[in-house]
Structure 1
Amino acid sequence: MKALTWHGKSDIRCESVPDPRIEDAQDVIIKVTSCAICGSDLHIYDGVIPDMHSGDIVGHETMGEVVEVGSGTKNLKVGDRVVVPFTISCGECFFCKRGFFSACERSNPDKAKAEKLWGHSPAGLFGYSHLLGGYPGGQAEYLRVPYADVGPIKVPDGLTDEQVLFLSDIFPTGYMAADFCDIQPGDTIAVWGCGPVGQMAIKSAFLLGAERVIAIDTVPERLAMAQASGAITLNFMDEDIYDRIQDLTNGRGADASIDAVGSEAHGMASFDSLIDRVKQATFMGTDRPHVLRQAIHCTRNFGTVSIVGVYGGFVDKIPMGSAINRGLTFRMAQTPVQRYLPLLMERIVKGEIDPSFVITHTGTLEDGPDLYKTFRDKQDSCIKVVLKP
C-alpha cells in the first residue's frame, strides 16, 4: 500500500510499504477513505518529537471502512464506516474504566521509554513516535486498529467524511479545551492559537455558553476564520495582548484561557519567546512556552488555564508565583477521545456544528509531502489539510 513516511526533519515521503494485517483477535483493518494532517504532526515534521524512526508511517486523524475483522471483535463488521480516535485504549484497565482513555495502561508497548521521560506513560498513539508505541499511522491506504471494540465510532448514514473526520482528534481536543474552562454564563474565554484545534475550541466555547471569546494569532486567514465564528480577534504582532485583554475585561482578566499552541510558539513575538527559540536551537531547552506564560498572566484571579497544545519535555521560566498567589487552576491532557465521541457525534447529527468549516486544502497521499510544507509554512492560506487515499 501507499503511505506517508518520516525520514527526518522536513522529510515526509509517499512510499510503498507492507499492508497491515490482523495481529490480535481484537484488531480490525480499515480502508482509509479520509485522513488529515494535524498541527501536532508538524512537531514531527520539524523534528522536535523524539524517538521517530526512519520509515515510520505518520498520521493520527483517520477514518474509513472496515475491511477485515479479528475473531474477538464484537462491535464492528466488514463494511462499517468508522472514525478512529488517535488514542489507543483497551477499555478495561484502571484508567479506561474511569474514562481516562488517553492514560490507558496497556496500549503502549514502549511505556518504559515514556516513563523515563515523563514518570508515567500515557496511552499509545497512532503515528506518533516510539515513545508512544511505534504504531503505524493513518496517513495511508489501510490502517490496523487495535482494541477495535473500544476505539472506533460508527458513522450514521447521511454524514460526509468531512463532517466527522475530525472526531478523531481536533474536535474532541478543542471541545475538551473549552470543557476544562467550566464556562459559566457571561464568561470571557481567551484562546491562544487559531489553528484547527483553536478554531474548534472557539466554536466549542460558544457551544458551552461563553459570552465572549478572544482569539489570538497573527495569521490573517486564521484570524478571519475565528472572527467568522464570532470571536474578538487580536494580532499578537500588532498589539500587547495583556494590555488588550485587560482593556476588554475591565482590568479583571479572562475568566479562562486556552493554550492551543504548545511547544512551538512564534519565536519573534516577544523577548522571552526569542530566548526560548535560542535555547531550543542550542539544545538548552525542549519547548517554547511563551504562550503558557502569557496565558497565566492574562487569566483573572481564581480562573482556569486550559492546556491542549503539545509540550514534549521540560519548560522553564513559568510564572508559578503568579499562578499560586492568584489561585489559578491548570487543566490539561492528551484528549481521552472516546469519552467525548457520543456527545460530539450527536452535536454533529443535530446540526449544532459542522467541523468541516476548517478545511482549506484537499489532496491525495502523493500530494502529502508538498502539503505538509504548505501547512507548516502557512502558504496558500492553508489552515487544514485533508488527504483522500
Structure 2
Amino acid sequence: GIVGHLAAQLFHLNGAHPIIGVDRIPARLEIAEEYGITTLDANDTDTPQAIRRLTNGRGADVVVEATGNPAVVIPALQSVATGGRAVLLGSTRGPVDQLDVYTLIHRNRVRLIGAHEMAQGYDYAQGIRWSRAENLRLLGSLFASGRIRSDALISHTIAPDEALTIHEKLSTRPEEYMGVLIQWT
C-alpha cells in the first residue's frame, strides 16, 4: 500500500539495500518493482524464508510492517535478523494470536518499535529535530524535489461527494484501489 511504498522510498534514501516489498496484490507488486523494490508475493511464498534467502540467511536488518493487519506481525518478526528492528508502522489493531515473545523478540534481540506519528508533538523548542511540523516540512521538500515519488501510488482522483463510496471500496476492493486523491477544486 501507500504507507509501505513511501517507507520503502525513505529507507532507500537512507541507503538501505536490499529493499524487499511484500504484498498479496499483483498490481501493487508491479508498482513496487517500478520503484526498484525487490518484491515477494505473499500468496506464493513463505515470506520469512524467502526474506532469509534474499539476505544470505541473515534476515532483514529492519522490517517495517505497514499493513496494520495483526496476522502479519508474526511473519514480520520471523523475518528480522538477530539484533534487528521491527517497526509496526501500520498501527496494528487487534490481538496478535500465538505471539511467542521469547522466541521472536527476546532470544533474537529484536527491537520492536511502535511508530505512531501522533506520539510526537507538533513542534518543539529549538534543538529538538523531529516533530510533526518538521516531518511535514521534510516530506514536502522530498516530494517537491522528486526524491520521493507518488505518481504511481495514486490510482483514482475523485470529487468530494464520492468520498464515502470510495472509502468502502478501498477496504473491500484493495486490488482496484491504491491511493485516492480528492480534487477539491
Q: TM class by shorter-chain length?
A: 0.7 to 0.9
Distance 2:96 2:78 in 1: 16
> What is the one-letter code of the residue matched to 2:51?
I
Could you list the runs of 5+ residues in structure 2 that have no partner in the other structure? 121-131
Q: Describe the superposition over 1:243-281 as per-residue Cα deviations: whole angstroms up to 9, x where unpaired.
A: 21121111111111000011xx3xxxxxxxxxxxxxxxx
Q: Per-residue deviation at 1:314?
A: 4.2
Q: Per-residue deviation at 1:351?
A: 2.7
* 1:235/1:341 CA distance change after superposition, 3 Å: same
* 1:250/1:371 CA distance change after superposition, 3 Å: same
| 2:54 aligns with one of 243, 248, 252 | 248
Q: Does 1:358 align with 2:153?
A: yes
Distance 1:339 1:320 in 2: 34
Distance 1:212 1:368 in 2: 37
Q: How does 1:1-389 map to 2 (within 5 A)?
A: 195-262=1-68, 265=69, 289-322=70-103, 323-335=105-117, 336=120, 337-378=132-173, 381-389=176-184
Q: Describe the superposition over 1:198-243 as per-residue Cα deviations: whole angstroms up to 9, x where unpaired.
A: 1101111111111211111111111111111111111111111122
Identity %: 28
Distance 2:175 2:115 in 1: 32
> What is the one-letter code of the residue matched to 1:205?
F
Check conservation: 1:348, 1:354, Cα contact below 8 A.
Answer: yes
Distance 2:40 2:171 in 1: 21
**What SS is found at the alignment partner of 1:327?**
coil
Distance 2:114 2:81 in 1: 18
Check conservation: 1:374, 1:380, Cα contact below 8 A.
Answer: no
Distance 1:379 1:341 in 2: 27
**What SS is found at the alignment partner of 2:19?**
strand
Check conservation: 2:22, 2:40, Cα contact below 8 A.
Answer: yes
**What SS is found at the alignment partner of 1:360?**
strand
> What is the one-letter code of the residue matched to 2:163?
G
Could you list the runs of 5+ residues in structure 1 that have no partner in the other structure? 1-194, 266-288
Q: Per-residue deviation at 1:316?
A: 3.8
**What SS is found at the alignment partner of 2:40?**
strand
> What is the one-letter code of the residue matched to 2:53?
D
Distance 1:342 1:317 in 2: 40
**What SS is found at the alignment partner of 2:44?**
coil
* 1:351/1:295 CA distance change after superposition, 3 Å: same
Partner of 2:125: none
Query: Greater Rg, structure 1 or structure 2?
Result: 1
TM-score between the two structures when normalised by the length of structure 1: 0.41
* 1:311/1:385 CA distance change after superposition, 3 Å: same
Q: CA RMSD in A?
A: 1.8
Paired residues, number: 170
Partner of 2:127: none
Distance 2:66 2:175 in 1: 22
> What is the one-letter code of the residue matched to 1:213?
I
Distance 1:241 1:233 in 2: 10
Check conservation: 1:218, 1:236, Cα contact below 8 A.
Answer: yes
TM-score between the two structures when normalised by the length of structure 2: 0.84
Q: Describe the superposition over 1:142-172 as per-residue Cα deviations: whole angstroms up to 9, x where unpaired.
A: xxxxxxxxxxxxxxxxxxxxxxxxxxxxxxx
